[in-house]
Amino acid sequence: MFMLTVKRLASFHDTGLKGGSSVPPSVSAPIVDGNRPRKKSKKNIDLTDLEADMRKAIAIFANENKGPTIDDCHEKLKNLELESTYPMFLAAFAIFSQPSNNFRESWMTLPSNPDVMKGWIKMMAKTLGYLQ
């Protein structure tokens, strides 16, 4: 019974108006060139401006990532002769792994005095919540 009702509704067209059509209206895009629908227009992009902006962004990104690497910091950390399972050693690596290279720059600027380096690791690890 349901199928009969749907078929009746699908075939129903209002032809009660004078001059009305028995063909249902089309809901497709307007036809411009034969059988092709009209395309939406896009704004033109000035590629030279876009290229210049992209070059600036890449240069800024590249300059921000200059500085000491984790490997550089590890070489200096070796001077403390800490076991790799020692909490201070692991905290130092966590500090060096921060997205900003400010901590790595600070570490590399410190004097090579073991007491100063251990004190810096403890201070930073407590500040960042790595050690209590």
Model pLDDT for residues 42-97, shown as the tens digit of each residue: 565 566 777 888 888 777 766 666 788 889 999 999 999 999 999 999 999 999 99
pLDDT at 125 > cutoff 90: yes
What predicted TM-score, i.e. pTM, was given to this entire model?
A: 0.52
According to DSSP, the residues that pair with 37 across neighbouring strands are: 31
- Domain spans in the chain, listed from the N-terminal domain onward: 70-128
Average pLDDT on 94-122 reads 92
Mean model confidence pLDDT for the chain: 77
| Contact by Cβ (8 Å): 106, 120 | yes
Rg (CA), the chain: 35
Instruction: Choose among 85, 65, 89: nearest CA to 76.
Output: 89
Q: Report pLDDT for 43.
A: 60
Indicate the SS3 state at residue 91.
helix
